[in-house]
Structure 1
Amino acid sequence: MPEVLFSVDQSKRFREQARLGHNRWHPDIPPVATVRPGSEFRLECREWFDGDIRNDDSAEDVRGVDLSIVHQLSGPIAVEGAEPGDLLVVDILDVGPVPQEEGPVAGQGWGYTGIFAKVNGGGFLTDHFPDAYKAVWDFHGQEATSRHLPGVRFTGITHPGLIGTAPSHDLLGTWNSREAELIATDPDAVPPLALPPNPENALLGALEGEQAEAAAREAARTAPPRENGGNQDIKNLTRGARIFLPVFVEGGKLSAGDLHFSQGDGEITFCGAIEMGGFLDLGVDLIKGGMETYGVTTNPVFFPGRVEPRYSEFLTFVGFSVDEEGRQHHLDSQLAYRRACLNAIAYLTKFGYAPEQAYLILGAAPIEGRFSGVVDIPNSCATVYLPTAIFDFDIHPSADGPQRADRGSCPKA
């Protein structure tokens, strides 16, 4: 096992750990450790809501969850010799739930998927699903099942939802400025258009006193992906993936967290993956001057992981850029993907699932989402590929009709 550079006691809250991580992006957060290029190490991770979501049959915890505490990030790790303009090469060697443990915290043999209430974060389909729901998943080796979603069993593509480097002060200012401009276009939007800096519940590693207070007022929230990587939620960043992350500060300051046992493309319920705590084994190296050399200046690039379930058959749902009221939009790929997801949900309800159950399945199972056509005016075409083998009944269309059955229910708040 690689050396553990960031350890987590799963019986304690994140801010009670012996070594503090962070839940905001800021260049002044000190590294918890420094490694040389070529090093391999382990980060232990707390699940993103720090144990607030419980293994029970109620969704009250999801409805009232406090978004100001996320994400719980392990790090930062500095890499010797890393300077602005370099590319940090990160290999994902291994990732998984809390090893050999069962307990009350996600990752200890179980995980969860949630639909956030519209008034508290919402999700991709929040206008159709404004209330909070939850599904709890049990882990069986590499497979997951849920008592709240009977008839479904699949192999997950375990991955860190969030991995990135620290921004520079200039880049942090750019983030805050452009996101503030967006918020100003509709400051009362529900859910909000973006999440501005919020000192409440900010955790900034070893920063203390006035320095911590000043940083908390400008530190960026970790919810969106940005130039530094961050919360990209890419399911194929799994074992065997190699990521090339831009370096904006001395040492790079690599952090990671938000581990997922499984996720569908898009993580469409927002809490759409199977969330868990666990461990992440990484290797790091450097490409000096790599940002300019390869033109990778505003984005990471990566090789996908080599480990994924071998589903060979998919039922594919198509969506176009025509909204639910029948209005035509021009090449709106986001809308097209939404319609493809809604079409898949409508289909699954014919087999006995409630719409929210189908929504949760699409968020957690390893579906594939694709922008299949983006040039043919006026309609973009997006597709959702649903693996047929994850169901213990036949979902193929046939002259006999769907095998409708009582599929239970998932908790609602």
Structure 2
Amino acid sequence: MAATCKAHSFHVNSSQKQFKWNNAVTPILTVDSGAEISFDLADGGNNQITDKSTVADVENFQNDLADPIYGPIYVNGSEPGDVLKVEFLDLQCAPYAWTAILKGYGVLAEDFPEPYLKIWDLSPEQQAKGYAVFKEGIHVPLRPFLGVVGVAPAEPGDHDTIPPQDTGGNIDCKYITQGSTLYLPVKVKGALLSCGDGHGAQGDGEVGGSAMETPMKARLRLTVEKGKLWLRSPHYLTNPATMRQAEVLALGEYGCLGIDSDLFQASKKACRQMIEWLVNTKGLTREEACILMSVAGDLKIVEAVDMPNHAVSMSIPLSIFVGPQYRDEGAAAKL
């Protein structure tokens, strides 16, 4: 029988994980509504890549070990039709992160058949600066969040942890940072919450297939809410203090539009154009451009109603280019 606790007297460690959603799994912990739980989480790759890794580790990456979830946690008083309110009280990155081009992953997977790896310095001193260094002159703002947070689906059996569902899971929503709140529709008694997949930063879409992947320590508060029968998918409330949108967009952004009758094809076109812009105006390699787009670029639907075609934008905030080599007159003229 799972232990019952209140507050954050129970710590979920990095060994208490699953690789499938399944509402028949015995919970590792039973808590009352309002309890705070701390987690020690491996990264979304299950720590297959570390700060000592090389591209060989990317070549040997095992997809079936990706996106482990930590839990499940049974919340007393939660019933199907309720909502589980998840408050993100604290999120702490490890001293390093990684971003990789993995075979078969990403919006442009067919364009990048060869593996690639970027290791990020997230030492306490670097985190205190509020950004990670992509390369000299390019700084990516840090905004830690958990890519995977969800409750068990109603349907029996195993469910893959990689695709998101109406019950949450691998939603990869960069707006659910420390101080934010996520609302999840409960489908089974006890809710059975699990989480994982720490990120130091990510662009909307995570288009390269990985973000700034990092092990993470997290502390969450879980509260059962009744009477919100209209909530049938994950909803969230952001924390303006950790969004930093005004600061990030202080110098504007550069965007590329992809136009197509298929939204995914439009997304591909927008991403390919952004890679061309980064290569031709910032001197990045195609692989560097893909990595930077994945952690700092935002994929957005800007037009969905003028059928048969749709417009998708991929944009990059210009504030990340802090070095003079990226902001001289020549570079500005190419804008």
When the two structures are superposed, what TM-score results if normalisation uses the length of structure 2?
Answer: 0.88
Higher percent of residues as strand:
2
Q: Does 1:256 align with 2:195?
A: yes
1:126 maps to 109
1:145 maps to 133
Whole-Å separation in 2 of the counterparts to 1:3 and 1:396: 47
Q: Secondary structure at the match of 1:226?
A: coil
1:235 maps to 174
Q: What are the within-5 Å matches in structure 2 for residues 79-118 of structure 1?
A: 79-97=75-93, 107=94, 109-117=95-103
* Residue 73 of structure 1: how far off its partner (Å): 1.7
Q: Does 1:377 align with 2:316?
A: no
* Counterparts in 2 of 1:304 and 1:334: CA distance versus 1, 3 Å: farther
- Per-residue deviation, residues 349-407 of structure 1 (Å, max 9, x unmatched): 12221011011001112x33321111223431112221112123355696x35799xxx
Note if contact 2:205-2:299 (Cα within 8 Å) is conserved in structure 1.
Answer: yes
Whole-Å separation in 1 of the counterparts to 2:69 and 2:173: 17
* Counterparts in 2 of 1:360 and 1:222: CA distance versus 1, 3 Å: same
* Residue 4 of structure 1: how far off its partner (Å): 5.3
* Equivalent of 1:352 in 272, 283, 287: 283
Whole-Å separation in 2 of the counterparts to 1:150 and 1:165: 41
2:3 maps to none
Q: What are the within-5 Å matches in structure 2 for residues 295-310 of structure 1?
A: 295-297=230-232, 299-306=233-240, 307-309=242-244, 310=247
Note if contact 2:20-2:161 (Cα within 8 Å) is conserved in structure 1.
Answer: yes
Q: What are the within-5 Å matches in structure 2 for residues 8-407 of structure 1?
A: 8=13, 17=15, 20-56=16-52, 58-97=54-93, 107=94, 109-117=95-103, 121-139=104-122, 140-141=126-127, 142-146=130-134, 149-168=135-154, 171-172=155-156, 218-271=157-210, 273-290=211-228, 292=229, 295-297=230-232, 299-306=233-240, 307-309=242-244, 310-311=247-248, 312-321=250-259, 329-330=260-261, 332-350=262-280, 351-365=282-296, 367-393=297-323, 395=326, 400-401=330-331
Note if contact 1:96-1:280 (Cα within 8 Å) is conserved in structure 2.
Answer: yes
Whole-Å separation in 2 of the counterparts to 1:379 and 1:71: 34
Note if contact 1:317-1:341 (Cα within 8 Å) is conserved in structure 2.
Answer: no
* Counterparts in 2 of 1:38 and 1:122: CA distance versus 1, 3 Å: closer
Note if contact 1:317-1:343 (Cα within 8 Å) is conserved in structure 2.
Answer: no
Note if contact 1:4-1:44 (Cα within 8 Å) is conserved in structure 2.
Answer: no
Note if contact 2:33-2:224 (Cα within 8 Å) is conserved in structure 1.
Answer: yes
* Counterparts in 2 of 1:4 and 1:162: CA distance versus 1, 3 Å: farther
- Per-residue deviation, residues 91-145 of structure 1 (Å, max 9, x unmatched): 1112121xxxxxxxxx2x110001112xxx3321012112211111111113212
Q: Secondary structure at the match of 2:294?
A: helix
Deviates more, 1:65-74 or 1:77-86: 65-74
* Residue 254 of structure 1: how far off its partner (Å): 0.7
Q: Which runs of 4+ in 1 moved over 6 A?
A: none
- Indicate the RMSD between aligned Cα atoms, in angstroms: 2.1
Note if contact 1:40-1:284 (Cα within 8 Å) is conserved in structure 2.
Answer: yes
* Residue 270 of structure 1: how far off its partner (Å): 1.3
- Per-residue deviation, residues 254-303 of structure 1 (Å, max 9, x unmatched): 110000011011011112x111111111112112242x2xx223x11111
* Counterparts in 2 of 1:125 and 1:397: CA distance versus 1, 3 Å: farther
When the two structures are superposed, what TM-score results if normalisation uses the length of structure 1?
Answer: 0.72
Amino acid at match of 1:138: D
Tell me the matched-pair count: 317
Same amino acid, percent of matched pairs: 27
Instruction: List runs of 5+ in structure 1 lacking aligned partners.
Output: 9-13, 98-106, 173-217, 322-328, 405-413
Whole-Å separation in 2 of the counterparts to 1:95 and 1:134: 24
Note if contact 2:106-2:207 (Cα within 8 Å) is conserved in structure 1.
Answer: yes
* Residue 346 of structure 1: how far off its partner (Å): 0.7
Q: Secondary structure at the match of 1:340?
A: helix
* Counterparts in 2 of 1:63 and 1:314: CA distance versus 1, 3 Å: farther
* Residue 3 of structure 1: how far off its partner (Å): 2.0
* Counterparts in 2 of 1:75 and 1:384: CA distance versus 1, 3 Å: same
Amino acid at match of 2:37: F
Instruction: List runs of 5+ in structure 2 lacking aligned partners.
Output: 1-6
